[in-house]
Amino acid sequence: MAPTYVLDGTQIRTLEDFWRVIGEAINGPGGYFGRDLDAFSDCLSGGFGTPDDDYAVEWRDHQVSRERLGHPETARQLEIRLSRCHPTNRPSASADPVAAREGRGTTVFDWLVEIFDDRAPGVLRLL
């Protein structure tokens, strides 16, 4: 029987919380399952606690997470990204947090769901 990993959406307030919650759901207390979007994408493909082929992730109370990982959190994450990017990329990247603060564009929640859909189609169950 394929394992099912459960995410408690009420425990996710920030992207950093998501990394902790999914890491612990899959690999136990203190478990790692990516700490950035690229690593998370790689981890979904298997070999980091998940089977290579058949598993499910239930994101319970996902609506709570959707709200908390909305545009304000997205703006915060984009500001962090902007502070770390190469100086030559800052002019083009500076518009992203502004759009998020104005409630435009995709959100952190959208990013995560898209990665699930791209790297592990059918794995994510939003409950």
Which pLDDT value is given to residue 18? 98
pLDDT exceeds 80 at position 16: yes
Which pLDDT score, from 0 to 100, does residue 91 have? 86
pLDDT of the residue at 88: 92
pLDDT digits (tens, 9 = 90+) for 36-48: 999 999 988 877 7
Residues in the chain: 127
The count of structural domains within the chain is: 2
pLDDT confidence of residue 104: 96
Predicted local distance difference test score (pLDDT) of residue 100: 96
- 49: pLDDT strictly greater than 90: no
Residues 35, 83, single domain; the answer is no
Tell me if 108 sits within 8 A of 50, measured CB to CB. Answer: no
Find the radius of gyration of the CA atoms of the chain: 15
**Domain range enclosing 90:** 71-106
The reply to whether 30 and 82 lie within a common domain is no
What's the per-residue H, E or C state across the chain? CCCEEEEEHHHCCCHHHHHHHHHHHHHCCCCCCCCCHHHHHHHHCCCCCCCCCCCEEEEECHHHHHHHCCHHHHHHHHHHHHHHCCHHHHHHHCHHHHHHHCCCCCCHHHHHHHHHHHHCCCCEEEC
pLDDT tens digits for range 55-106: 999 999 999 999 999 999 999 999 999 999 899 988 888 889 999 999 999 9
**Quick one: 102 and 118 in the same domain?**
no
pTM of the model: 0.93
Tell me what pLDDT residue 103 has: 97
